[in-house]
């Protein structure tokens, strides 16, 4: 009897040979309430009030270290088991559960633990946290440093400034995430020193800083022992990738001129980051990573120019080779042009008539000697274990391409921008890339790029495009 009554209602439709959707009209209501769930609190953070170079006495020297087992990691042949899987689209092992292929890491049902489980994990995640802290400060600093008119003159509106503020809020979340993973000894906020004096220099520095921040995480993400931590970090660095693209759009650059983003070693990320940290608390977590000497690109392309490749010594100096607007005449400034292909006002996208760089371009270089005090409290020292430089290593997308140094004289030389593609139709040297000087051509791929470190003489960033 009960069964018949149920079938006489709407449930009878479920037994029909054809199913029909029953439309339901929903209206707004304020009668429903829900108890908010508990939300983890943000990590303590403040607007840093002190900026500028460190002028005190170095607190310590050298990076964190223990016993070193060898001067470098010896190359080994590939592991044989990695060639055994047939990759034919068929299943070759029992399924641990329905619709679940055999294999994978961290897929056996064990409870995830979001914490470092090796020195490699801790040092890598701490590096990422240093990066999040500087971004949090940098985005707030720019909004406080430059006036509304300064931003308007660079073509950036109130809505753009609101986006910049939101990106700072994102960094609060990223810093909170990594602090919670690392625990009580996690790095905290420091004070910083930025090599910029105008909004356009500031935006260029931001897009370069987010570039090495993003690439630095890509470089170690898949090497982490803690797969759980890697998952959370992946979800935060995906946001950072969007920030880097936004800053390119703010700068009037093509937003994503590559098919693949770059991954770089931790020591490269720390080398590029540390010079812009002035001081940290005395008990701050130290890092193991190397600080390499600076590579200065004397004719670094300048995106603020109509012809950004026709340039000499127009950077604010330092590892990022950030553009300088100081010597650009009004008729040479791409922001002042209303010609399509020349104008570089903030936009979703621009195509430049005159490329910033091109294959066959002479690139003139100078580099610092090792032994410079850098980083928080001048407490790290730049170093290299390489011999005299012979090559320029162009690190972009999936490629590392070497070009010989020419006319080497002391700590200066030039090289030629190479002509190669990642895949047909994708120029490999494009976007904001990394340029290193090496003493030999080290055969490396994206997964083992750290093997190049013992052979790096100096490191910098190149604005290709």
Q: CA triplet 221, 247, 352: central angle to 5 degrees?
A: 115
Number of domains in the chain: 1
- Give a yes or no: residue 162 inside a domain: yes
pLDDT given for residue 28 in this prediction: 47
- Give a yes or no: residue 57 inside a domain: no
**pLDDT class of 12 with cuts at 50, 70, 90:** very low
Could you report the per-residue pLDDT of 259-275, keeping only the tens digit for each?
A: 999 999 999 999 999 99
* Contact (CB, 8 A) for 407 and 420: no
Using the predicted structure, report yes or no on whether residue 6 has a pLDDT greater than 50. no
Tally of residues, the chain: 465
Q: CA triplet 375, 279, 181: central angle to 5 degrees?
A: 85
Q: Which of 54, 61, 68 lies closest to 291 in space, CA to CA?
A: 61
* Contact (CB, 8 A) for 390 and 440: yes
**pLDDT class of 2 with cuts at 50, 70, 90:** very low
For the chain, the distance separating the N- and C-terminal CA atoms, rounded to the nearest angstrom, is 77
d(CA 5, CA 124): 65
pLDDT given for residue 222 in this prediction: 96
- Give a yes or no: residue 99 inside a domain: no
The pTM score is 0.90
Could you report the per-residue pLDDT of 342-376, keeping only the tens digit for each?
A: 999 999 999 999 999 999 999 999 999 999 999 99
- Give a yes or no: residue 292 inside a domain: yes
Could you report the per-residue pLDDT of 196-232, keeping only the tens digit for each?
A: 999 999 999 999 999 999 999 999 999 999 999 999 9
Q: Give Cα 251 distance to the centre of its chain.
A: 17
Using the predicted structure, report yes or no on whether residue 9 has a pLDDT greater than 50. no
The rounded mean pLDDT for the chain is 90
Could you report the per-residue pLDDT of 13-23, keeping only the tens digit for each?
A: 343 445 455 55
What DSSP string describes 235-269?
HHHHHHHHHHHHHHHHTT--S---SS-----HHHH
pLDDT given for residue 34 in this prediction: 59
- Give a yes or no: residue 152 inside a domain: yes
State the residue range of the domain holding 142: 113-463
Using the predicted structure, report yes or no on whether residue 112 has a pLDDT greater than 50. yes
pLDDT given for residue 25 in this prediction: 57
Average confidence (pLDDT) over 27-52: 70
d(CA 149, CA 152): 5
* Contact (CB, 8 A) for 352 and 358: no
DSSP 8-state class, residue 389? -
**pLDDT class of 409 with cuts at 50, 70, 90:** very high
**pLDDT class of 54 with cuts at 50, 70, 90:** confident
- Give a yes or no: residue 1 inside a domain: no
pLDDT given for residue 58 in this prediction: 79
Could you report the per-residue pLDDT of 125-134, keeping only the tens digit for each?
A: 999 999 999 9
d(CA 217, CA 208): 14
- Kindly report which listed range (71-85, 190-204, 390-404, 435-449) carries the lowest average pLDDT score: 71-85
pLDDT given for residue 4 in this prediction: 39
Percent composition of the chain: helix, strand, coil (DSSP 3-state, to 5): 30, 15, 55
d(CA 462, CA 357): 10
What DSSP string describes 102-165?
S--SS-SSPPP--S--SHHHHHHHHHHHHHHHHHHHHHHHHHHHS-HHHHHHTT--HHHHHHHH
- Give a yes or no: residue 449 inside a domain: yes
- Give a yes or no: residue 187 inside a domain: yes
What DSSP string describes 71-96?
SSPPP-PPPGGGGT---SSS--S--S
pLDDT given for residue 31 in this prediction: 55
d(CA 334, CA 34): 54
Using the predicted structure, report yes or no on whether residue 40 has a pLDDT greater than 90. no
d(CA 328, CA 378): 33
Using the predicted structure, report yes or no on whether residue 189 has a pLDDT greater than 70. yes
Q: Which residues are within 8 A (CB) of 199 and not within 5 positions of it... i.e. 6 or more apart?
A: 142, 146, 150, 151, 153, 154, 156
- Kindly report which listed range (19-28, 293-302, 346-355, 455-464) carries the lowest average pLDDT score: 19-28
Using the predicted structure, report yes or no on whether residue 85 has a pLDDT greater than 70. yes
Q: Which of 301, 303, 213 lies closest to 251 in space, CA to CA?
A: 303
pLDDT given for residue 11 in this prediction: 41
Average confidence (pLDDT) over 131-139: 97
């Amino acid at each position: 009897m009960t069964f018949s009554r149920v079938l006489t209602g709407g449930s009878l439709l479920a037994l029909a040979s054809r199913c029909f959707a029953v439309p339901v009209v929903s209206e707004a209501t304020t009668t429903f309430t829900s108890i908010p769930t508990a939300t983890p609190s943000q990590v303590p953070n403040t607007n840093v009030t002190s900026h500028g170079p460190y002028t005190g006495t170095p607190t310590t020297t050298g990076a964190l270290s223990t016993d070193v087992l060898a001067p470098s990691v010896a190359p080994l042949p590939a592991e044989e088991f990695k060639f055994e899987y047939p990759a034919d689209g068929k299943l070759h092992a029992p399924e641990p559960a329905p619709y679940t292929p055999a294999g994978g890491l961290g897929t056996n049902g064990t409870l995830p633990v979001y914490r470092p489980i090796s020195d490699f994990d801790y040092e890598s995640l701490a590096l990422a946290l240093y990066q999040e802290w500087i971004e949090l400060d940098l985005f707030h600093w720019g909004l406080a440093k430059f006036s509304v008119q300064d931003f308007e003159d660079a073509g950036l509106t109130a809505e753009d400034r609101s986006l910049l503020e939101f990106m700072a809020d994102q960094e609060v979340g990223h810093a909170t995430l990594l602090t919670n993973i690392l625990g009580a000894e996690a790095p905290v906020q420091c004070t910083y020193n930025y090599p910029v004096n105008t909004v356009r220099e500031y935006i260029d520095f931001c897009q370069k800083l987010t570039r090495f921040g993003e690439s630095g995480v890509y470089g170690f993400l898949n090497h982490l022992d803690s797969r759980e931590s890697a998952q959370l970090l992946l979800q935060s660095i995906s946001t950072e990738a969007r920030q880097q693209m936004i800053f390119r759009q703010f700068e009037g650059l093509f937003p994503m001129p590559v098919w693949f983003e770059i991954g770089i070693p931790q020591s490269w990320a720390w080398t590029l980051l540390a010079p812009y940290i002035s001081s940290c608390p005395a008990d701050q977590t130290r890092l193991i990573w190397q600080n390499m000497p600076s590579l200065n690109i004397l004719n670094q392309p300048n995106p603020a120019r109509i012809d950004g490749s026709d340039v000499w010594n127009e950077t604010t100096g330092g590892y990022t080779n950030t553009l300088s607007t100081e010597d650009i005449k009004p008729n040479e400034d791409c922001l002042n042009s209303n010609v399509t292909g020349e104008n570089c006002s903030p936009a979703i996208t621009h195509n430049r008539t005159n490329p910033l760089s091109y294959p066959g371009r002479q690139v003139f270089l100078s580099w610092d000697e090792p032994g410079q005090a850098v980083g928080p409290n001048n407490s790290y020292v730049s170093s290299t274990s390489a011999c005299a430089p012979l090559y320029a290593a162009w690190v972009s997308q999936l490629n590392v391409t070497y070009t010989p140094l020419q006319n080497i004289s002391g700590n200066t030389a030039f090289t030629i921008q190479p002509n190669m593609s990642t895949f047909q139709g994708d120029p490999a040297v494009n976007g904001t890339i990394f340029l290193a000087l090496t003493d030999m051509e080290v055969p490396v791929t994206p997964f083992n790029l750290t093997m190049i470190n013992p052979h790096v003489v100096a490191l910098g960033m190149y604005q290709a495009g």
